[in-house]
Amino acid sequence: MSDNFLSDLNGSLGAIEVGAVAGTFLFGIMTLQTFHYYRNFRADSKLLKVIVGLVWSLELGHTMSCLHALYSQTVTFYGSPNHVLRPPPSEDITVLFAALIYTIVQIFFANRVRILSGRLYVMALACILGLLRLVGHMAILALLLHYTRVTILLEWRWLVIASLSLALSMDILITASLCYYLWRIRSEHGRMRSTVDTLILWTVESTVMTSATSIVQMILFMTRTDLVWVGVFVFQAKIFSNAMLASLNGRERFRGLHTEESSGKVATIAFLDATAHSTALMASPTRAGASAGIPGEVEKPSGGDHGRD
C-alpha cells in the first residue's frame, strides 16, 4: 500500500490538495453566511450565537491546519515523498477540529428533531452515536500521532470504517426523523400542507450534502487503496457547518410568508430557536417570528397588550 502512495501522488497528495482548495472555498462561503446570520438574526438566543461563533472558530482552525499541512508537504518537504506517509502534526489536528464540528452540527439538527417531536429519544440516540464517533476520531488522532498512515489503514481499518458508518447513520437518522415529524404535521394540518412540503424539501436540501459526502467517502475508502477518500474528508466538515448556517439563515424566507387567517386564528410558520422551549414560543406570536424552530399554530391576539412579551 505504501508503494501506491509514493508512486502515484495524484491519489494521495493530489487528492489532499484538491480537498484543501475546495475546503478553503467553502470556508469563505461559511464566513459570508456567518456574517449574514449575525446581521439579520440579532434576536436569537445568546447560546445559539455562541454556537455559531464556535463552529466558525473551529472551521478557521481546521482551514489553517489544512493549509499548513499542505504547505509543509509541497514546499517545506518538497522532494521527500515519505512525508506523505507520515504527515506533519497540523494535518493530524484537522481530525480533532472536524470531529468537534461534526458533533456540534449533528446535535444541533438532533435538537431540531426534539423540538419538532417533543420527544427525547431521537436526540438521545443521536447524542450517543455522536459521542461514539467523537471517541473514534480521537482514537484515530492518537494513532496518527504515533504510526504511519499505512499502519493505521492496515491494522486499524475497522476503526475508520466504524467512524464513517456512525457518521452516515447519524445523517440518515436525523434526516428521516425530521421528514417523518414534518409529514405528521402535514397530515394533521391540511391547510398548511404547501408550507410543510416546503419545509420537508428544505430539510432534505440541508442534509443531503452531508449524507452524500459520507457515502462517497465510505465508497472511496472501501474500494480504493490510495488516499482519495482523505480529499473528501478534508472539506467534509465545511459541508456540515454550511448546512447548519443555511438552515439558520433560511428562516428569512419564511418571515411574513405562509400565513393563513381563518376564524380568528393565524397559522404561523416559524423556526424555533434551537435552545428555546417550543411551548413558550407557540404561545407568543411576536417571539416566534424572530426565532429558530418548527411550524406551529398559535392564537391570534384579540387586542391591546394581549400576547405581547
pLDDT at 64: 95
**Phi and psi angles of residue 147, each rounded to the nearest 5 degrees, phi first:** -130, 165
DSSP secondary structure of 43-91: TS-HHHHHHHHHHHHHHHHHHHHHHHHHHIIIIITTT-THHHHS--HHH
Q: What are the residue ranges spanned by the domains of the chain?
A: 2-254, 260-299
267, 259 contact by CB (below 8 A): yes
Dist CA 293 CA 269 (whole Å): 9
Pick the more confident residue, 126 or 190. Answer: 126
265, 281 contact by CB (below 8 A): no
**Topology of domain 2-254, per CATH?**
Rhopdopsin 7-helix transmembrane proteins (1.20.1070)
pLDDT at 192: 64
pLDDT at 254: 63
Helices (H) and strands (E) in the chain, counts: 12, 3
Q: What is the mean pLDDT of residues 20-29?
A: 94
pLDDT at 282: 32
81-117 pLDDT tens trace:
666 667 788 888 999 999 999 999 989 988 888 888 8
170-202 pLDDT tens trace:
888 888 888 888 787 777 666 666 767 777 777
**Does the pLDDT of residue 307 top 70, yes or no?**
no
pLDDT at 53: 96
Q: What is the largest CA-CA distance in the chain?
A: 78
pLDDT at 182: 78
Q: What pTM value is reported for the model?
A: 0.78
The answer for 57, left when phi > 0, alpha when psi is -120 to 50, beta otherwise, is alpha
244-282 pLDDT tens trace:
998 888 877 665 444 443 333 333 334 444 333 333 333
Confidence of residue 8 (pLDDT cuts 50, 70, 90): low
43-85 pLDDT tens trace:
899 999 999 999 999 999 999 999 998 888 888 877 676 666 6
